[in-house]
C-alpha cells in the first residue's frame, strides 16, 4: 500500500501535475512542495472554475489537508502573500492550511533585478520567468542568502540584508549598468511581511517524521519537469533546482527510505517553453493544432509553448531517473481530432540509430527523431470514465506507451476539469 507518493513531471514542465495532485489530495494528510519557486504554474479546474497556483501546494483547496512548503523551495514573500490573498478572497483559508520550512531561501527584489538583467542579453538568455529564482538559488549555494528563519531575528536580518544588497547592487551598478535596489525600503518591506509569514514557519522535517511514523499518507509535489533538472536536464536551458524525485528527500527533510512510489506525469504529446533542445518539435500545421487544441500558453508567463510529438526516448530516461512506478498521461483529448499520431521511438545521429540519449548532451540538438505512426481515433475522449470505453486506437496508443517505457499507466486525463479523468489503478 502506497503511503508516501512523489509526483514529478516527465518532460519540460507544464504536464498537468497540479490537477493530479488536487485529484489525489483528499486521500492524504499533507501535500508537500519540495523545490522551485513561483516560477511554477499549477492550474486547477474544478467545475469550470480555474485556480492558478505558483508557490502554494496544489492541495490547498481541500479542507483537512495540510499544505507544506519544504526547504528546497525558494520563496518570494511578496509573491506568497499575494497568492494567499487571492485564495482567501475566494473563501479558501490559505493561512490556516499552509506551513513553511524555516530553511526556505528568500527571493528579494535584487534577485529579480539580476534575473531580468541577465535575460535582457539575448545571446545568453536561458528563457527564465525573470522571477529571481536562479539568483536566489545561487546565493543559497554560496551561503550568503537570507532564509525564512531570519525573520525571527530582525537585527540579524538587517545585517545580513545589508551585506547581500551591497553585493547585488555592486553587480547591478557596475556590471549591468542599471539602477540599484534601496536597502531601507527592502528591509522595511521584509519586516512588514514577516509579521504575516512568521506564524506559518514550522519544523517541516519533524512534522513529516511524525506523520510517517503515524503511517499518514503523504503526497510530494514537484514543480517544472525532469528535463529542466539542473543536473539531469537539457543543460544549460534548465531551471536552478533539482526537479527529479530524489529532490523530494533533500527538499523536504523526509528520509529517502520512507518514500513508497513515484507517479510520473507526461502529456500525450510534448511541449516546451523557452529556449533549449526539443528533438520532436513541430513547426508545421500539426504543431499549431496541438498548441491551439491544448491551449498551450504558460499559466504564469503566458508564453506560447513549443509543441511536438511524444518522445519515448526522453520518457524512458525520465522513468530511469525518477524510479517511476506508474505514469499519468494528460491531455489525451488534445489528440482526439488528429488523423495520424506519431511517437518518437529512437534517434538517428550521424547515420546511426540511438535508442538512448547521446553521450554528449550537445549532440541531442543534432538528433533526428525516428517515428512510428498511429492512426487517430477522431472522436471525443473527454466524457469517457473507463479505459475499456476509450476508442480502440486510443487504447492501442496508450498500451504502446506502456510498452516503450516499461511502466503501467495508472491515470489518464481527458480534460482540464478534475472530473475529466480515468483512474485505472488505485494510487493510495
Residue 124 has a pLDDT of: 67
The reply, when asked if residue 363 is annotated as ligand binding, is: no
What pTM was computed for the model?
0.94
Residue-wise pLDDT tens digits, 54-98? 899 988 989 999 999 999 999 999 999 999 999 999 999 999 999
Is 14 known to sit in a ligand binding site?
Answer: yes
- Is position 198 annotated in a ligand binding site? no
Q: What is the pLDDT of residues 391-401, one digit of tens each?
A: 999 999 999 99
Give percent of the chain with pLDDT exceeding 90.
87
**Cα 55 to Cα 235: distance, rounded to the nearest angstrom:** 24
The one catalytic residue among 29, 38, 111, 140: 140
Distance CA 9, CA 265 (A): 5
Give catalytic status of residue 210 as yes or no. Answer: no
**Is 332 marked as a binding-site residue?**
yes
Contact 270, 311 (CB under 8 A): yes
The pLDDT value given to residue 44: 77
Q: Residue 256: how many CA atoms within 13 Å on its side-chain side? A: 6
119 is in an annotated binding site: no
Q: Which of 240-249, 301-310, 318-327, 400-409 has the lowest mean pLDDT?
A: 301-310
Could you read off the pLDDT of 214-225 as tens digits, one per residue? 999 999 999 999
Query: Same CATH topology for 4-102+200-261 and 109-197?
Result: no
**pLDDT score recorded for residue 70:** 98
3 catalytic, yes or no?
no
| 40 is known to lie in a ligand binding site | yes
Q: Is pLDDT above 70 for 300?
A: no
Superfamily of domain 4-102+200-261: Adenylosuccinate Synthetase, subunit A, domain 1 (3.40.440.10)
Task: Tell me whether residue 62 is annotated as binding.
Answer: no
Q: Which of 29, 42, 168, 267 is catalytic?
A: 42
| Residue 143 in marked binding region | yes
Specify the CATH number for 266-423; select among 3.30.70.940, 1.10.1030.10, 3.90.170.10, 3.40.50.1820: 3.90.170.10
Is-catalytic flag, 14?
Answer: yes
Q: Assign domain 109-197 to a CATH class.
A: mainly alpha
Could you state, in order of their start, the residue ranges of all structural domains in the chain? 4-102+200-261, 109-197, 266-423
pLDDT tens-digit readout, 190-200: 999 999 999 99
Check whether 275 is labelled as a binding-site residue: no
> What are the distances in angstroms from CA 342 to CA 56, 130, 222, 368?
36, 34, 28, 14
Q: Is the pLDDT of residue 276 over 90?
A: yes
For the stretch 18-67, pLDDT in tens is 899 989 999 999 999 999 999 877 777 776 777 888 899 988 989 999 99
Q: Tell me: pLDDT of 235 over 80.
A: yes
Amino acid at each position: 500500500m502506497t503511503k508516501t507518493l512523489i509526483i514529478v513531471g516527465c518532460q519540460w514542465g507544464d504536464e498537468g501535475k497540479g490537477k493530479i495532485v488536487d485529484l489525489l489530495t483528499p486521500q492524504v494528510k499533507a501535500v508537500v512542495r519540495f523545490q522551485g519557486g513561483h516560477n511554477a504554474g499549477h492550474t486547477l479546474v474544478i467545475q469550470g472554475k480555474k485556480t492558478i497556483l505558483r508557490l502554494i501546494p496544489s492541495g490547498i483547496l481541500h479542507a483537512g489537508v495540510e499544505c507544506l512548503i519544504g526547504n528546497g523551495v525558494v520563496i518570494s514573500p511578496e509573491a506568497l502573500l499575494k497568492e494567499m490573498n487571492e485564495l482567501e478572497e475566494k473563501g479558501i483559508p490559505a493561512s490556516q492550511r499552509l506551513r513553511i520550512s524555516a530553511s526556505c531561501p528568500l527571493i528579494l527584489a535584487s534577485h529579480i533585478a539580476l534575473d531580468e538583467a541577465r535575460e535582457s542579453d539575448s545571446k545568453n538568455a536561458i528563457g527564465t520567468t525573470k522571477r529571481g529564482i536562479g539568483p536566489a538559488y545561487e546565493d543559497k549555494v554560496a551561503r550568503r542568502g537570507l532564509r525564512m528563519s531570519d525573520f525571527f531575528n530582525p537585527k540579524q536580518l538587517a545585517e545580513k540584508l545589508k551585506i547581500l544588497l551591497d553585493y547585488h547592487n555592486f553587480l547591478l551598478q557596475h556590471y549591468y549598468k542599471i539602477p540599484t535596489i534601496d536597502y531601507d525600503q527592502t528591509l522595511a518591506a521584509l519586516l512588514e511581511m514577516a509579521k504575516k509569514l512568521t506564524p506559518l514557519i514550522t519544523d517541516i522535517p519533524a512534522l513529516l517524521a511524525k506523520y510517517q511514523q503515524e503511517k499518514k499518507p503523504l503526497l510530494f509535489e514537484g514543480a517544472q519537469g525532469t528535463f529542466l533538472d539542473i543536473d539531469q536536464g537539457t543543460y544549460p536551458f534548465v531551471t536552478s533546482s533539482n526537479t527529479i524525485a530524489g529532490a523530494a528527500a533533500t527538499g523536504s527533510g523526509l528520509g529517502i527510505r520512507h518514500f513508497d512510489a513515484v507517479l510520473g506525469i507526461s502529456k500525450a504529446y510534448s511541449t516546451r517553453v523557452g529556449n533549449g533542445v526539443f528533438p520532436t518539435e513541430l513547426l508545421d500545421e500539426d504543431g499549431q493544432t496541438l498548441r491551439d487544441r491544448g491551449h498551450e500558453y504558460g499559466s504564469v508567463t503566458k508564453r506560447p509553448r513549443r509543441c511536438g510529438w511524444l518522445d519515448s526516448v526522453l520518457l524512458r530516461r525520465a522513468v530511469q531517473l525518477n524510479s517511476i512506478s506508474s505514469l499519468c498521461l494528460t491531455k489525451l483529448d488534445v489528440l482526439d481530432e488528429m488523423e495520424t499520431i506519431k511517437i518518437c521511438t529512437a534517434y538517428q545521429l550521424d547515420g546511426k540509430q540511438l535508442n538512448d540519449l547521446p553521450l554528449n548532451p550537445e549532440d541531442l540538438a543534432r538528433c533526428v527523431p525516428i517515428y512510428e505512426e498511429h492512426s487517430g481515433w477522431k472522436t471525443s475522449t473527454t466524457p469517457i470514465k473507463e479505459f475499456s470505453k476509450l476508442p480502440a486506437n486510443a487504447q492501442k496508443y496508450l498500451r504502446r506507451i506502456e510498452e516503450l517505457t516499461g511502466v503501467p499507466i495508472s491515470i489518464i486525463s481527458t480534460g482540464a476539469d478534475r472530473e475529466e479523468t480515468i483512474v485505472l489503478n488505485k494510487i493510495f
